[in-house]
Amino acid sequence: MIFGQKGAILSRRGILIGGAALMASSQPPPSLASVSLNRKKTKVAAFDRERFVEDCIIAHRESEPMLAVREVLARAVADHRAVLTGLGAPSKAGLDVLLSSPTLTIFAAHWTPQMNLLPHDHMMWALIGIYTGREDNILWRRKHDGIEAYGADCLFEGDVATLPADIIHSVTNPLLRFTGGIHIYGGDFFDTDRHQWNPETLAEEPSDGEAIREMFARENARRNL
Ligand SMILES: [Fe+2]
């Protein structure tokens, strides 16, 4: 049951904290805990992508890198219209890479209207901040013979999701327009062997940067973009 577990649905402004996704199914389900973080309401006049990357790199050197980078991301998407202006409105499925390094990856992900991404993991912590549109997440966890869904969250403009390294999620843009989000990963997203699951059979398959690129190419071809 996806939505029935206590605590599985978060408030609109909540963030995802997935529990140990590697737990056996006989163990109690991990709960999603909402973490209260002080959102700074300070508005910025314009979003500067180089400055944003610089701020993330500096924050990543702090003792709690994920939380520090999250603060930077939350501040940015609090003024999501400025981010949209700074990055430009998405017009194709794809990734606008702001930073690719061995320890930190930052890109703007563009989902076409009603685009779906199959369940996948990242093998590193991840942050998602929505600056246009909406992104619905289904959370999955491993069980002895595959994966099962256990939670969901809807991310609106200005929202930030925090995904621990063991999380598995699938993503849908439910809108009839493009969704754009800044995605930040605590590692080399494009050079890490990851996993994805067939959306129909839930069979596990390998995934990496090349698999992601092919997925976007298929989506654009399907829509003649
Ligand atoms: Fe993801």
CA of 84 to the centre of ligand 1 (A): 21
How do residues 41-89 score in pLDDT, each as one tens digit?
A: 555 569 999 999 999 999 999 999 999 999 999 999 999 999 999 999 9
Q: Is residue 90 pLDDT above 50, yes or no?
A: yes
Q: Is residue 29 pLDDT above 50, yes or no?
A: no
Is residue 31 in some structural domain? no
Is residue 29 in some structural domain? no
Is residue 210 in some structural domain? yes
Query: Bridge-partner residues for 129, per DSSP?
Result: 160, 182
CA of 120 to the centre of ligand 1 (A): 6
**Virtual CA dihedral for 153, 205, 102, 130, nearest 10 degrees?**
-20
For the whole model, what pTM was predicted?
A: 0.81
Is residue 3 in some structural domain? no
Query: What pLDDT does 17 receive?
Result: 43
Lowest-confidence region among 84-88, 98-102, 116-120, 210-214: 210-214
* Mean pLDDT for all residues in the chain: 85
CA of 138 to the centre of ligand 1 (A): 11
Q: Are 137 and 155 in contact (CB under 8 A)?
A: yes
Q: Is residue 139 pLDDT above 60, yes or no?
A: yes
Question: Average pLDDT for residues 206-224, to the nearest whole number?
Answer: 90
Is residue 28 in some structural domain? no
Number of structural domains in the chain: 1
CA of 99 to the centre of ligand 1 (A): 17
CATH code for position 176: 2.60.120.10
How many of the other CB atoms lie within 10 Å of CB of 132? Answer: 21
In this prediction, residue 206 has a pLDDT band, given cuts at 50, 70 and 90, of very high
Q: CA distances (Å), 129 to each of 23, 32, 41, 172, 205, in order?
A: 27, 18, 15, 15, 27
Q: Which domain holds residue 149?
A: 49-222
What is the Cα–Cα distance from 129 to 49, expressed in whole angstroms? 14
Tokens found for residue 9: 């649905």
How many of the other CB atoms lie within 10 Å of CB of 137? Answer: 22
Question: Average pLDDT for residues 177-191, to the nearest whole number?
Answer: 97
CA of 171 to the centre of ligand 1 (A): 7
CA of 155 to the centre of ligand 1 (A): 13
Question: Average pLDDT for residues 29-40, to the nearest whole number?
Answer: 43
Is residue 39 in some structural domain? no
Question: Average pLDDT for residues 96-100, to the nearest whole number?
Answer: 97
CA of 53 to the centre of ligand 1 (A): 20
What is the Cα–Cα distance from 104 to 54, expressed in whole angstroms? 11
Q: Is residue 4 pLDDT above 50, yes or no?
A: no
Query: Bridge-partner residues for 133, per DSSP?
Result: none
Q: Are 66 and 185 in contact (CB under 8 A)?
A: no
Query: What pLDDT does 13 receive?
Result: 45
CA of 201 to the centre of ligand 1 (A): 19
Is residue 139 in some structural domain? yes
Q: Which residues of 158-190 are buried (b: 16+ CB within 10 A; e: fewer)?
A: bbbbbbbbbbbbbbbbebeebbbbbbbbbbebb
CA of 169 to the centre of ligand 1 (A): 6
Is residue 23 in some structural domain? no
CA of 137 to the centre of ligand 1 (A): 9
CA of 130 to the centre of ligand 1 (A): 13
How do residues 110-124 score in pLDDT, each as one tens digit?
A: 999 999 999 999 999
